[in-house]
Amino acid sequence: MRTPLRRRVIAGALFAAVLVPAAASAHEDAVVIRTYDASGLPEADLDAALAAAFAILEDAGVPVARLSCDQPDEAARLHPCRAPLAPHELSLRLVRLPPDGIGPVTLGYSLVETPVGFGSLATVYVDRVARLAAAARVDVPTVLGRAIAHEIGHLLLGTNAHARAGVMRAVWSPEAVRASTPRDWRFTTRDTTALRDGARRRTSHPVQTSGADLVARHRPFW
């Protein structure tokens, strides 16, 4: 499912949440998202986008907290960003990568270990999201927040599957982004149930993974 950028932009992936840049250990009842921003996005826009994404997740019943790892103190050996990811932590990278001009435009990707339904790393291409936002005439933080929520959704759902509607839809066109309401960019009822189960599994029980079974794919976003 694809369109041009007046062609449709393939999305493979709010409004008033408070970011919590605290240590992960203080939020073991929440899913902690470590952010690594190399996009050059203005700080105010980044904060607004993350607030938008967190609001979508929390609307689905998934409490989240942010741990900024953009410039951790390398001298601090105990800095939480230097520790291995805990089961309740995810990594989110925000980068820029101009489209190659061939095929559909992807907005990012996530790594999912499909045999166990588990993933911990998502990447979003901020410049591509900005192009979609401009084509839709919608502000960048709103569209970026939805894209982030979509990718985090893949990690928590542990699947590459998409929904027919809501933030987990497969294709995002400028027309759909512009004409829809914020409610159209929440998780569906079905996805909400699965999302809560995935978050609960991370925050209450370690997930066993096997290198031999790892088929975490570099999958285009939507």
The string of DSSP codes covering 124-173 is EEHHHHHHHHHHHT--HHHHHHHHHHHHHHHHHHTS---BSSSTTBSEE-
- The residue ranges of every structural domain in the chain are 9-205
| pLDDT for res 102 | 67
Are the C-beta atoms of residues 43 and 133 closer than 8 Å to each other? no
- The arithmetic mean of pLDDT across residues 168-194, rounded, is 91
- The arithmetic mean of pLDDT across residues 210-220, rounded, is 33
| pLDDT for res 139 | 97
9-205 fold: Collagenase (Catalytic Domain) (3.40.390)
Question: pLDDT tens across 132-167, in order?
Answer: 999 999 999 999 999 999 999 999 999 988 999 999
State both tokens at 118.
């588990």
Are the C-beta atoms of residues 125 and 96 closer than 8 Å to each other? yes
